[in-house]
Amino acid sequence: MLAIKRQAMASATQILLRPHFLATLTTAASARAYHSKLCKSSDEAIKGIKSGDKLLIGGFGLCGIPENLLKAIARRKDIQQLTAVSNNAGTADYGLGTLLQSRQIKRMMSSYVGENKEFARQYLGGELEVELIPQGTIAERIRCGGAGIPGFYTLTGVGTQVETGGIPIKYVKGSSNIEIASEPRESKIFNGRKYIMEEGITGDYALVKAWKGDELGNLVFKYAANNFNGPMATAGKITIAEVEEIVPVGELKPDEIHIQGIHVHRILKGEKYEKRIEKLTLRRSDSEEQQLSPAMKQRIHIIKRAAREFKNGMYVNLGIGMPVLASNYIDPGITVHLQSENGILGMGPFPTADEVDADLVNAGKESVTVLPGGTCFSSDVSFGMIRGNRLDMTILGGMQVSQRGDLSNWVVPGKIIKGMGGAMDLVAAPNTRVVVTMTHNAKDGSPKILKENTLPLTGTKCVDRIITDKCVFDVIPGKGLLLRELSYGNTVEEIKAATGCAFEIASDVAETY
């Protein structure tokens, strides 16, 4: 019996080793049948989307948005009362903003309103429901939704209106009265710290945009265009992906695919791409800096001092606005790894004109570069780094800071609504040093450094250092503010007059910048 088995195995081996048999197997594998998910047009791809659906819409600002799918929905005026989950809403005239213009959206779930004036107008005017969610929280809620996780606990938002509730979702039309407000969050203590619970997010449809894809639905993103596209692709009951290039099945290497085809139900090659850059920002020469407005010169004065906070080997996040300018003033003798919450580690300075790439923007939607050794990834991965205490320092802008280090920087109720963006996540990381850069006083001369904040909080007792156009304060836990440095031309008495709270003075305080 054993001899018969050995003879059978030997015969089978001889057959398998014959060249024509191996060729037949290879040909069969390459020509195997598969179910194509390819759609001929964006109009075909969005079939089934109806009024009242919840849409998860990828992109960050205008970077990586599914612009062809959004145009297709805008053409369908019968689709109304949508809930749109998106980090923000593009601009007033492009991207998701066009669906706001056509009044097809009932509710936005976003982290940032930004400079979209139509978004802000509809919200403050009571025409639009807006559920504002910290950026890292919305990214993780979507990731959890896609992974079948109903909820999670986070430090982000503890001690703010995110925890206590009351953030306006909808104003009474034509009034500053609140018609719908956010609900309080459940909380729980872990290892002596309070955390709040957030629920996972899924959608009826996810609309995402990738660089390359195949007919099986495998997707590859380019640079920072991964952002929210990655997690959203996993969290839709039906995911529709538009890509710049459809490649043959098998051309994408298994280890370079970002989103596997199991998550994608329909795919199409986008008909036309504009790939607008929301804020085209180029590197300035020294001579150009001298021609800037006094207000911009003041900002650069502050941020050049902030750049001294960098130490060799640091991992640092720069907030939008003034802080991001610090990337242009890093001491060339040290290495600083800049992280941008939209999915970049190793961010470089603003580009020259020939370095501009629409798929490379920072958290402020400005064009940037990536240094050698830099990497790009999705928004949920980015905030995992932040919540996981991987950053040494974050530099943020501020509207108000209290003597205890409480920060307000995201809203003036009923007047200015920017949204919290990623700031609440950044200041909640226990081991990350928080430096706030801002003008010492508001335009009306009122102090921004106060005994108590009057604006809604971004975080409590979270600020370590304040750098203004007049001086540098340290926040000493349990004690208050300590005046460390003066800007040239300022005196201690002038700082006392310009500051809305008492403070101690360091024995070695001097003019240093």
Q: Annotated active-site positions, please?
A: 341
Give all strands (DSSP E) within 111-156, no chain letters.
129-132, 151-154
First-to-last alpha carbon distance for the chain, in angstroms, is 92
Q: Are 461 and 437 in contact (CB under 8 A)?
A: no
Contacts of 125 (CB under 8 A, 6+ apart): 171, 173, 174
CA atoms lying within 13 Å on the CB side of residue 79: 22
Q: Which bin fits 275, alpha (ψ -120 to 50), beta or left (φ > 0)? A: left
Continuous segment of H or E residues that includes residue 54: strand 54-57
Give all strands (DSSP E) within 178-302, no chain letters.
178-181, 187-190, 193-199, 203-213, 219-220, 236-246, 266-269
DSSP assigned state of 283: P
- d(CA 497, CA 500) in angstroms, rounded, equals 8
> How does DSSP assign 318-348, residue by residue?
E-TTGGGGGGGG--TTS--EEEETTTEEEE-
Please list the helix, strand and coil fractions of the chain in percent, rounded to the nearest 5, in that order: 25, 30, 45
Rg (CA), the chain: 26
CA atoms lying within 13 Å on the CB side of residue 451: 4
Q: Are 368 and 349 in contact (CB under 8 A)?
A: yes
Amino acid at 207: L
Contacts of 193 (CB under 8 A, 6+ apart): 155, 430
| Residue 178 backbone phi and psi in degrees, to 5 | -95, 125
- d(CA 107, CA 131) in angstroms, rounded, equals 7
